[in-house]
Chains A and B, each alone.
Chain A
């Protein structure tokens, strides 16, 4: 019983491990950070050429 739970836990950890940036949380933070940077850049772009 305990071994099955351990295996399930290990699978879950394996799934949570991202091949880049150490964890999926960091990957999602990168995506949101890039989105914010793009919006700010486009806003400045619009203002500059207005």
Chain B
């Protein structure tokens, strides 16, 4: 990275974080620290909700996913607008009326303390692990740019976010996120423009889409129903609906965002904004990945995008074998490029037969390139069985640092940092809120002063921050990061959502029935995941329905016993 890029990166980060910290300088009580005094307008709520969900993973992993897997991941978000509507109708009015700090407080009012504690515990477990993974993602960037061990960059990133969140609390998180999202949107448009601009002169944006489409990368909709297919329209609408409803309705990192709204209407409008903008935004990010894929049909791509692993094998006993594979990869690319140029000519001539022939040849050439790439990763594993052979998260990063002009690189790296900071800060803030409100204040120190709770909240943020850093050390082993976070969520969200839906809609079910139902359902979900019973999105639906079904049965048996 050049000196100018470093300057742009530093100014962007410091000014936005500085603004957030400055706006939160008067935070003196627990309500201000955890919920920004419940005074924010709808656009603040909406952008904050979006910034919390859009972590650095979104901007590193999603374009990589677009590059390798096409647009089909966009279907994952189809259930989100529907979930927003249900949240606006049911969850928001209840949380606002009860004036709660966390979603789990409501469960004690509806059921009992053990159900509240169990749900809060499941949340802490899930969110603590997920936030650890979100710390790992931007650490990859620093590690690649500075060429230092990733463990050091994890510690550096983690400590910066801990310091900023401990000082500012929820208000700093929200004010920072407002500007983060503005810069992120601007940067994304710039990135898309730059990719198209870097395509050869005879290849227009429309041609790029045609090439990607002919190589099966514009697969945005798959209507075939298959429970083992991770992304199709049905898993997106049904499974995605349950996952998003659980995430936004029961995950304190999101509940804490829309509880900052100054009224029910302002919180609702914030979620409606999220429902309208999220799918187009995600489509756009994936499309950038697809365009990067098209770019590399005309330019030589590295055989493997993770420079650290490449450097490791280049200094090993297999360096000659790797060199041979690199040569073969270059030759395969040259052959593929010839076929891609023929495809462009066929597209320009609108000759269907020529297009079909060229498409078959391009796909065959692409298969050959991929086979060589596979051999290279196998060699890396042979050299080091612990090698990270999944380079999806490095594709966009590699493109930014090697292909884009000075200045743009600094801005795009800043965006990835900002996104990471937004979601990490929300995560840490929610972990602290739940620990203090649902455990510390409820179970241990019921009658302390506001100042004492504020101090405890700050210390809890530090402890959770350190825990997340520890988790981040192991995150490199989980493969695709965005998928890992969603799988982790799917393991717990279904059960948690089931508890909340029973609370809202099954008025005759008691706390004891739902508590045992949740324990049984969670055990089954973990078993289903270990045995690979179904695609992970369906775990949300199954978990939720199991809790509701078991709760009904247990209550039925309890009622019968009471009668006897």
- Which residues in A have their C-beta under 8 angstroms from that of B220? 42-43, 45-46
In the complex, A40 Cα to B220 Cα: how many Å?
11
Q: How far is the CB of A14 from the nearest CB of chain B, in Å?
A: 9
Per-residue interface assignment for chain B, residues 226 to 254, with 1 indicating a CB less than 8 Å from any chain A CB and 0 otherwise = 00000001000000000000000000000
B218 touches A31 (CB 8 A): no
B81 touches A35 (CB 8 A): yes
B93 touches A15 (CB 8 A): yes
In the complex, A49 Cα to B207 Cα: how many Å?
10
In the complex, A32 Cα to B209 Cα: how many Å?
28
- Which residues in A have their C-beta under 8 angstroms from that of B283? 42
Contact of A49 among B88, B210, B233, B275 (CB under 8 A): B210
- Which residues in B have their C-beta under 8 angstroms from that of A24? 88-89, 268
CB nearest neighbor in B for A17: B265
- Which residues in B have their C-beta under 8 angstroms from that of A35? 78, 81-82, 275, 279
Chain B: residues with Cβ within 8 Å of the partner, total of: 31
A32 touches B212 (CB 8 A): no
Q: Which of A2-50 contact B (CB under 8 A)?
A: 15, 17-20, 24, 27-28, 30-32, 34-35, 38-39, 42-43, 45-46, 48-50
B218 touches A45 (CB 8 A): yes
Among B89, B265, B269, find the residue whose CB has the most chain A CB atoms closer than 10 A: B265
User: Is B520 engaged at the interface, CB distance under 8 Å to the other chain?
Assistant: no
B279 touches A38 (CB 8 A): yes
CB nearest neighbor in A for B280: A38
> Chain B: residues with CB nearer than 8 A to chain A?
71, 74, 78, 81-82, 84-85, 88-89, 93, 209-210, 212-214, 218-221, 223, 233, 264-265, 268-269, 272, 275-276, 279-280, 283
Q: How far is the CB of A7 from the nearest CB of chain B, in Å?
A: 15
**Sample (25) of A-B pairs whose CB atoms are under 8 Å apart:** A15-B264, A17-B265, A18-B268, A20-B269, A24-B89, A24-B268, A27-B272, A31-B81, A31-B84, A31-B276, A32-B81, A35-B78, A35-B81, A35-B82, A39-B221, A39-B233, A42-B220, A42-B221, A42-B283, A43-B221, A43-B223, A45-B218, A46-B221, A49-B214, A50-B218
B213 touches A49 (CB 8 A): yes
In the complex, A30 Cα to B276 Cα: how many Å?
9
In the complex, A20 Cα to B266 Cα: how many Å?
11
A34 touches B81 (CB 8 A): yes
In the complex, A20 Cα to B273 Cα: how many Å?
12
B78 touches A15 (CB 8 A): no
Given A18-B265, A20-B269, A28 contacting B221 (CB threshold 8 A): no
- Which residues in B have their C-beta under 8 angstroms from that of A39? 78, 221, 233
In the complex, A34 Cα to B219 Cα: how many Å?
20
B93 touches A46 (CB 8 A): no
- Which residues in B have their C-beta under 8 angstroms from that of A42? 71, 74, 220-221, 283
Among B71, B85, B264, find the residue whose CB has the most chain A CB atoms closer than 10 A: B85
Given A15-B265, A49-B209, A49-B210, A31 contacting B221 (CB threshold 8 A): no
B212 touches A34 (CB 8 A): no
Q: How far is the CB of B70 from the nearest CB of chain A, in Å?
A: 10
